[in-house]
Amino acid sequence: MMGQDNSGISAIWTEKFRPKTFEEVKGQKEIVSRVKAFVKTNNMPHLLFSGPAGVGKTTLSLVIVRQMFGENWRENFLELNASDERGIDVVRQKVKDFARTRSIGNVPFKIIYLDESDALTKEAQQALRRTMENYTQTTRFILSCNYSSKIIDPIQSRCTVFKFKPLSKDEIFEIVDTVAKAENLTIDDEGKEALFYVSGGDVRRLENLMQSSAAIQTNITQKLIYDVASFAEPKEIRDVLEYCVKGNFEDAKKKLLDTMLKQGLSGIDIIKQIQQEAWGIDSDNQIKLEMIKHCGEAEFRMIEGSDEFIQLEALLANFILLNSKN
The structural domain count of the chain equals 2
* Run means of pLDDT, 10 residues per run, the chain, 326 residues: 49 89 91 92 91 92 91 85 66 76 75 88 86 85 92 93 93 94 92 92 93 92 90 90 92 92 86 90 88 94 92 94 81
Instruction: Answer yes or no: is 136 within a domain.
Output: yes
Instruction: Answer yes or no: is 226 within a domain.
Output: no
Query: Domain end: 143, 163, 183, which one?
Result: 163
Same-domain status, 251 and 137? no
pLDDT of residue 190: 92
pLDDT of residue 85: 59
Decide if 320 contacts 244 (C-beta within 8 A).
yes
pLDDT of residue 96: 76
* CATH number of the domain within which 254 lies: 1.20.272.10
pLDDT of residue 266: 87
User: Which of these, 50, 53, 63, 19, lies nearest to 201 by C-alpha position?
Assistant: 53
Q: Is residue 150 exposed (0-12), middle (13-18) or buried (19+ Cβ within 10 Å)?
A: middle
Work out whether the CA dihedral 118, 124, 125, 128 comes out positive or negative: negative
Decide if 295 contacts 274 (C-beta within 8 A).
yes
Instruction: Answer yes or no: is 20 within a domain.
Output: no
Instruction: Answer yes or no: is 252 within a domain.
Output: yes
Instruction: Answer yes or no: is 296 within a domain.
Output: yes
Same-domain status, 158 and 242? no
Instruction: Answer yes or no: is 199 within a domain.
Output: no
Helix (H) or strand (E) holding 114: strand 110-115
Instruction: Answer yes or no: is 182 within a domain.
Output: no
Instruction: Answer yes or no: is 308 within a domain.
Output: yes
Distance CA 220, CA 206 (A): 13
Same-domain status, 51 and 153? yes
pLDDT of residue 242: 93
- Which residue range is the domain that position 242 belongs to? 234-324
